[in-house]
Chains A and B, each alone.
Chain A
Amino acid sequence: MKYFLLALLALLAGTPFYGLGNYPLHLVIMCLLWGYVYTSWSIMGRLGLVSFGHGAFLGIGAYSVVMLWNHFGVSPWIGAIAGVVVSVIVAVIIGLPCFRFKIVGHYFALVTLALSEVTRLIIVALRDQTGGSLGATPNTALAQGNAWSLGALQFSEKIVWFYAILAVWLAGLWVWAKVDRGMTRLALEAISQEEEAAASIGINVTRSKLFVTLISAVMTSIGGVLYAQYQLYINPETVSGISISLQMVFGVIAGGMYVMLGPTVGAVFTLLLAEGLRLALGDSFKQFPALDLAIYGLMLVLFIIHMPKGILGTAAQIWQRRAAAKAPARG
């Protein structure tokens, strides 16, 4: 299994050299980027903290870098740090009262849903600075002949982005695995099952929840930074608000939130679905702006009912059962 994954990784790392052309490479980059973001979401989502507010952290990351760069000429590296700091502050402001006063389950989902929508509304309202619904483009740092500028975090060649985002995705998986093996994961599972019993054996409920929330929020806002710098265009709909937040929840649940690569599989599935819808419905897709939302919502319900472990989780289960069925036959 380990060798299979390493071989897969080697295959993936060679992607830019298969002569696929720009568009397929772009799709792979997007899969990795969203795979990273979904992985970030699942770090708290799998532990009973289902957030519909991660669009907020994505948006904070994306708009922090672009606004600071465009208006003040602040390097995106500093901008990214600012985005992370703001995300941490927002996560604490929302998380602390929720965790302290035992706002869980549906209520937590509602509070976070409001957060992602409020973030979108703020971005739209500050249209003089943010460009409102029209979105914003980072001022280019690539004077003629320059293919890239490290200081401005702008690269015109996709291959650079491919490896940068591959590295970030791997780092995301590493954090996921680290949390998975840690005591905090067990503690949070205990909290999500019996919060009062968990507290009474000395688990600091607020601190444990805040811990994974902060990891998740920080990682997600870094995802927002990468998205802005890679796409060189952001708008409030794509990096904040209900739509993208719901898409994250959908993607992770579809892929499988209890296995490390589940969120990434979910990202691939969501992207293929979006591309498929775009091809199938053509321009009519654009005429019904909420159509994708409706489809995600419907599929989310179907997944929760029929495949709660997601695509990869269910596949892994079937595979394990097969292996278990074979083992005694061999012995």
Chain B
Amino acid sequence: MLEVSGLTKRFGGFTAVSGVSFSLKEGEILGLIGPNGSGKSTTFNLIAGLHAPSAGSVRLNGEEIGGLLPAAICHRGIARTFQIPRPFRKLSLIENVVLAAFYGQEERPSRGKAHEFARESLNLVGLPIEESARVDGLGAAGLKKLELARALATQPRVLLADESLGGLDHAEMEQAADMLSMIRREKGITIIWVEHIMGVLMRVVDRCIVLDHGELIAQGKPAEVAHDPKVIEVYLGTDAADVQKTVADRTQ
């Protein structure tokens, strides 16, 4: 449903994303992996309209959306989370999400309906729905959940989850991974997921694409990617054996 081709972003003389092409199939979870600074978040920013591409195109169901403003892309059904959470700190938890529910779609729901969507999203990620709940009390895991709830409240068809799960313990990471599977299952949302912890990611995704220095170096099923020599060289390194084992366990 999403068709990215030749996507390129230059910041001054530096090319952060270079001729990246891939496609996203309806209903899948696509893992986007690569070393630090390889251009994963920048790719998300390009798809979500935060940056205009220097070259290349992004098509959603055949329609060119590259270069549209973030709000317009959100209205077309693509939601995103930020790697470093960006909550509206002075608003209450529910207000954060109600805004997304109210403004997230081309046709605005009534305020009552927006509240309903907001409560549903908060419930889905397991955050409190009380009017009095504040952002301040949330830890790293809570803030990530809020990012997700806000994105979900816009009723997206595609979710770009930038979740390098820093700051979470192992149980919280597993929980986050399960949450994405559950979101796909319950809401039928197609997902691109950025994550550094391969053990968690490989368990859940259907396919993987790998970036290095802004270039796409591999794509395929988790098993193929985990055995790809190039991917092992630039990214997996000594973890390769563990990752391969995770993938093998999963197919059993």
Contacts and interface: CB of A to CB of B under 8 A. Distances in A.
B88 A189 contact: yes
Contacts of A201: 74, 79, 99-100, 103-104, 150-151, 153-154
Nearest to B85: A197
B71 interface: yes
A317 interface: no
Nearest to B82: A197
Contacts, number: 74
B91 A204 contact: no
Given A183-B111, A200-B70, A202-B75, A194 B103 contact: no
A194 B91 CA distance: 11
Interface string A193-212: 11011111111110000000
A196 B50 contact: yes
A203 B111 contact: no
Contact of A187 (B82, B99, B150): B99
Interface of B: 48-50, 69-71, 74-75, 79-80, 82, 86-91, 95-96, 98-100, 102-105, 111, 150-151, 153-154
Given A183-B111, A203-B99, A193 B88 contact: yes
A199 B86 contact: no
Given A183-B111, A189-B91, A194-B86, A199 B69 contact: yes
Contact of B99 (A190, A196, A204, A205): A190
Nearest to B106: A202
Interface in A107-144: none
Nearest to B101: A201
A193 B48 CA distance: 20
A15 B115 CA distance: 45
**Size bin of chain A's contact surface:** 10 to 19
B75 to A, nearest CB: 6
Given A193-B91, A201-B150, A202-B71, 10 more contacts: A183-B103, A186-B95, A187-B99, A187-B103, A193-B90, A198-B88, A199-B50, A201-B100, A203-B99, A204-B71
A205 B102 CA distance: 14
Interface in A163-217: 183, 186-187, 189-190, 193-194, 196-205
Contacts of A186: 91, 95, 98-99
B48 A203 contact: no
B104 A202 contact: yes
Top 6 nearest A-B pairs (CB, nearest first) are: A197-B86, A202-B74, A201-B100, A199-B70, A202-B103, A202-B104
Given A186-B99, A187-B99, A194-B86, A200 B91 contact: no
A220 B2 CA distance: 48
B87 A194 contact: yes
Nearest to A207: B71
21 contacts: A186-B95, A190-B91, A193-B88, A194-B87, A196-B50, A196-B86, A197-B87, A198-B99, A199-B50, A199-B69, A199-B71, A200-B48, A200-B49, A200-B82, A201-B100, A201-B150, A201-B151, A201-B154, A202-B71, A203-B71, A204-B71
Contacts of B69: 199, 204
A203 B235 CA distance: 37
Contacts of B111: 183
A183 B102 contact: yes
A302 B49 CA distance: 42
